[in-house]
């Protein structure tokens, strides 16, 4: 089974999740999503595996969220996905995908349920 982690090496939860995966014997494909963001289609597929909507994985505390005035305006799911692709800092991290499942590593142990 292929395991992929959408990872931000500057994020402590992301580093902890990666370490946990490696400790459990997984050799995940590491995607530094800030440098290589998922496409809109990839993000939609990840959301489907998570069973979540785009607004569920937006980092509302990020400065970019405020700059884009996302709290003050209504955007469609497709618009929000495009904004996350253009501004990957808005995507919650880390996200681990394994087979047909995905989980957000907050807390890191959450990802063990999909291995």
Residue 1 has pLDDT above 90, yes or no: no
Query: Tell me, what's the pLDDT at 114?
Result: 96
Which one of the listed residues 1, 7, 9, 11 is annotated catalytic?
11
Query: Tell me, what's the pLDDT at 98?
Result: 97
What domains appear along the chain, each with residue ranges and CATH number? 3-114 (3.40.30.10)
- Phi then psi for 102, rounded to 5 degrees? -145, 155
Query: Tell me, what's the pLDDT at 46?
Result: 98
| Residue 69 appears among annotated catalytic residues | no
Q: What is the pLDDT of residues 7-43, one digit of tens each?
A: 999 999 999 999 999 999 999 999 999 999 999 999 9
How much is the pTM? 0.95
């Amino acid at each position: 089974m292929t395991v992929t982690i959408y990872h931000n090496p500057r994020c402590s939860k992301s580093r902890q999740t990666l370490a946990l995966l490696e400790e459990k014997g997984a050799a995940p494909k590491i995607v530094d999503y800030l440098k290589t963001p998922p496409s809109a289609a990839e993000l939609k597929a990840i959301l489907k595996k998570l069973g979540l909507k785009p607004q569920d994985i937006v980092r509302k505390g990020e400065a970019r969220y405020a700059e884009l005035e996302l709290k003050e305006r209504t955007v469609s799911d497709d618009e929000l996905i495009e904004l996350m692709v253009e501004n990957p800092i808005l995507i919650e991290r880390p996200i681990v995908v394994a087979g047909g499942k995905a989980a957000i590593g907050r807390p890191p142990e959450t990802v063990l349920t999909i291995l």
